[in-house]
Amino acid sequence: MQPFPHHYDAHLAGGPTGYVRLSTAGLPDISAAAPKDFDGPGDAWSPEQLLLAAVETCFLLTLRAVAGMSKLEFTALDVTIDGVVDRQNGVTRFTEIVLRPRMTVAPGTDHGRALRVMEKSEKACLVSASLSTPIRLEAEIIEG
């Protein structure tokens, strides 16, 4: 890992209506728009979906590191995530995020230990740690 601080950048281009183009050096551009709930077209990534995708991606990448340090082997991870946007005290914001990882481990793996690794990973994820929205972890461990 590179020494801190780390710096990241992104660029957005758009006009008064329609899609926006997100870009950064060396990566493919992403088209984004408002979701249908906010009168958008519903056929492009929305800021709400991008935030949720950032949480679950950070969770998996952090889990890889924590599992490696803990010597916990897993063969697959499938994650679904749900976010609730509501208006509270005059502010529209995410009020809850539910992260549902489903980890596949080898037969005989200590499920309690695997759960602790997932809990530690959620807490250590820098995206989750940067949000004020509570994140509820509903983890599942299966053998396969």
| pLDDT reported for residue 80 | 98
- The string of pLDDT tens digits covering residues 52-69 is 999 999 999 999 999 999
Residue 38 shares a structural domain with residue 69: no
- Give residue 51's pLDDT: 98
Q: Does residue 41 sit in the same domain as residue 63? A: no
Give me the pLDDT at residue 56, please.
98
- Shared domain for 38 and 51, answered yes or no, is no
**Helix H segments across the chain?**
47-70, 111-124, 126-129
CA angle 75, 80, 83 (to 5 degrees): 150
**What is the pLDDT at residue 55?**
98
Do residues 61 and 115 share a domain? yes
Task: Give the pLDDT of residue 89.
Answer: 94
Please tell me the predicted confidence (pLDDT) of residue 113: 98
Extract the residue ranges of the chain whose pLDDT is less than 50: none
Residues 17, 73, single domain; the answer is no
* Same domain, yes or no: 61 and 34: no
Q: Are residues 38 and 100 in the same domain?
A: no
